[in-house]
Structure 1
Amino acid sequence: MVSLKAVQASNASLRAFPNITALFVGGTSGIGQSTLRHLARYADSPTAYIVGRSQERASPFLAELRSLSPKGRFHFIEADVSLVRNVDLACRQIVDQESHLNFLFMTPGGISLGGRNETPEGIDYLFSLRYYARMRFVQNLLPLMTTAASSSPSRVVSVYGGGFEFPINTDDLDLKHTFSLLNAYKHSITMTTESMEYLAQQYPSVSFVHAYPGLVGTNIYNNSFPSPIASFYNVAMWPFHSVSLQESGERHLFHLTSARYPAKQQPAGAGEVATGTTGEPGSGVYLLNWKGEVRSSPKLLTQYREQGIPELVWKHTEQLLEEAVRR
């Protein structure tokens, strides 16, 4: 376990990095909000873009961020990112304003007890939030992240289920024909890691983290269910929460910024680094638990790597995303 003291010391070192630019997708509540709040506290003059559903609901939090970091710049982008075309619009605003992007932090999602619920673009709603929309942000913004990597850290963090990879149906990756909530859960996790492995080879100056956050005291049930059901889950799950929301934010900022998880093409003289999914230190893709520890890489990933599944998954993802915006 990475101690909280070590986490805080690493986060405090952010003051030494000028011109940090970050994007938080799902940054107005829960883990994303807590992580962004800590970025505002630790960094000297960050620039942060926050993508969320409601400008009005986000306004008090934006005021808090500006109070925490008077020299910081905080920009809200209102968007429903379950739609790929909305992701493109949000990214365009950032590309038009910035020359580099250091950090991309993604937490959008929710809980469903129903069946497949397609968006107008033909993608299951939660599958889009957990995987496809996130990958569209990555795809669109990697050029800015590569530019950032020439002089400062550059990292993608997707918070979901890193370390819980399962076999997937490579003949039905988007689950058009074999959808179930369990299959969607499995595919979202495994396809995230597979795509990260492929992209780390193509963009070796950018590092990728797929994190499992543990059970955190967030408002995910309130955002996913009607009030009576949400209240039941909040009470029932409270004893199982492994980490407070505040500590989770501290630790996820560490995941996002620490030199412990470098890109494959890491700078010379880097200190102690974590072991990546290939079993090699500093390989560029990391599966982390909430403590910052590397989760053991399943044998499945080795088998998939040998079979070329990372490339297969990414090529499918590119094709589906392009089809979505043409609908």
Structure 2
Amino acid sequence: MVSLKAVRASNASLRTLSNITALFVGGTSGIGQSTLRHLARYADSPTAYIVGRSQARASPFLAELRSLNPKGRFQFIEADVSLVRNVDFACRQILDQVEHLNFLFMTPGGISLGGRNETREGIDYLFSLRYYARMRFLQNLLPLLTTAASSGPSRVVSVYGGGFEFAINRDDLDLKHTFSLLNAYKHSITMTTESMEHLAHYHPSISFIHAYPGLVGTNIYNNSFPWPIASFYNVAMWPFHSVSLQESGERHLFHLSSAQYPAKQQPAGAIQGVSVQPEVKDVATGTTGEPGSGVYLLNWKGEVRSSPQILKEYREQGVPELVWKHTEDLLDEAARR
């Protein structure tokens, strides 16, 4: 376990990184909000874009961020990212305004107790939030991430279920014909890691983290269910929370910025992140079993999760390439609808 003391020491050193630009998708509540709050507290003068569904709901938080860091630049982009066209809209605004992107942090999602619920683009709503929308942000912003890697850190963190990868149905990746909540859970997790492995191969100067956050006291139930059902889950799940929302934000900022999780290939002179703390000693082991291999599965403590055997088998069978090709084709088709 990376101690909270080491996490806080690392985060406090964020001021040594200059000209940091970040994008938070799902940054107005829960883990994303807490992580962004700590970025504003620790970084010198960051530029942060926050994508969320409501400008009005985000306004008090934006005011808080500007109070925490008057030198920082915090810009909200209103978009329902369950739709690919809205992801493209948000990305165009960022591409038009910045030349590099150091940190891409993604947490959109929710909970459902029902069946497949397609958006008008033909993708299941929660499957889109947990996987497809996140990959569209990544696909669109690869040029900015690559530019950032020439001199500073370039990292992608997707918060969901890293380390819980399962076998998936390669003949029905988007679950048009075999949808269930369990299958959607499995596919979202495994396809995220498979896509990250593919992208790390072709973009080795970018570091990728698929994190499992543990049970955190967020407002996910309030955002997913009507009041009576949400209240029941809030009470029922409270004893099982493994980490507070504040600590989760501190730890995810560490995941986002520590040099413990470097890219596979480090350009000469480029800074991989905040220097590794003395108690940590070594860089993390990636999904291939090699230290510093560029793709990392982490638990809420910052520990590397054991890479499931299925990932090795899929790597040998070319599944990362299959998954990414499917993802690109489906996203492009959805954007044309």
TM-score of the aligned structures, taking structure 1 as reference length:
0.99
Contact 1:162 1:193 in 2 (8 A): yes
1:288 to 295, 298, 301: 298
Deviation track 1:208-250 (CA, whole Å, cap 9, x = no partner) reads: 0000000000000000000000000000000000000000000
What is the number of equivalent residue pairs in this alignment? 327
Q: Which position in structure 2 is the counterpart of 1:312?
A: 322
Equivalent residue letter for 2:144:
L
1:225-304 alignment, distance < 5 Å: 225-266=225-266, 272-304=282-314
Equivalent residue letter for 1:217:
G
Alpha-carbon separation, structure 2, partners of 1:80 and 1:134: 12
Q: Which position in structure 2 is the counterpart of 1:175?
A: 175
1:13, distance to aligned residue in structure 2 (A): 1.1
1:268, distance to aligned residue in structure 2 (A): 6.6
Alpha-carbon separation, structure 1, partners of 2:17 and 2:167: 40
Alpha-carbon separation, structure 1, partners of 2:18 and 2:68: 17
Alpha-carbon separation, structure 1, partners of 2:185 and 2:322: 19
1:266, distance to aligned residue in structure 2 (A): 2.6
1:1-327 alignment, distance < 5 Å: 1-266=1-266, 272-327=282-337
Equivalent residue letter for 1:126:
L
Alpha-carbon separation, structure 1, partners of 2:228 and 2:92: 39
Deviation track 1:65-109 (CA, whole Å, cap 9, x = no partner) reads: 000000000000000000000000000000000000000000000
Q: What is the percent sequence identity of the aligned residues?
A: 89
1:267, distance to aligned residue in structure 2 (A): 5.4
Is the partner of 1:164 in helix, strand or coil? coil
Contact 2:205 2:267 in 1 (8 A): no
Alpha-carbon separation, structure 1, partners of 2:100 and 2:78: 21
Alpha-carbon separation, structure 2, partners of 1:120 and 1:188: 20
Contact 2:115 2:180 in 1 (8 A): yes
Deviation track 1:274-307 (CA, whole Å, cap 9, x = no partner) reads: 0000000000000000000000001100000000
Alpha-carbon separation, structure 2, partners of 1:37 and 1:210: 21
Alpha-carbon separation, structure 2, partners of 1:167 and 1:63: 44
Alpha-carbon separation, structure 2, partners of 1:93 and 1:9: 34
Q: 1:297 to 1:136 in 2, by over 3 A?
A: same
Contact 2:263 2:292 in 1 (8 A): yes
Structure 2: segments with no counterpart, 5+ residues:
277-281
Deviation track 1:22-43 (CA, whole Å, cap 9, x = no partner) reads: 0000000000000000000000
Is the partner of 1:112 in helix, strand or coil? coil
Is the partner of 2:48 in helix, strand or coil? strand
Equivalent residue letter for 2:174:
D
Equivalent residue letter for 1:210:
H
Alpha-carbon separation, structure 1, partners of 2:88 and 2:202: 21
Alpha-carbon separation, structure 2, partners of 1:235 and 1:267: 49
Contact 2:149 2:267 in 1 (8 A): no
Contact 1:266 1:282 in 2 (8 A): no
Contact 1:148 1:154 in 2 (8 A): yes
Contact 2:23 2:50 in 1 (8 A): yes
Alpha-carbon separation, structure 1, partners of 2:5 and 2:206: 26
Alpha-carbon separation, structure 1, partners of 2:84 and 2:43: 31
Equivalent residue letter for 1:2:
V
Q: Which position in structure 1 is the counterpart of 2:279?
A: none
Contact 1:207 1:261 in 2 (8 A): yes
Is the partner of 2:50 in helix, strand or coil? strand
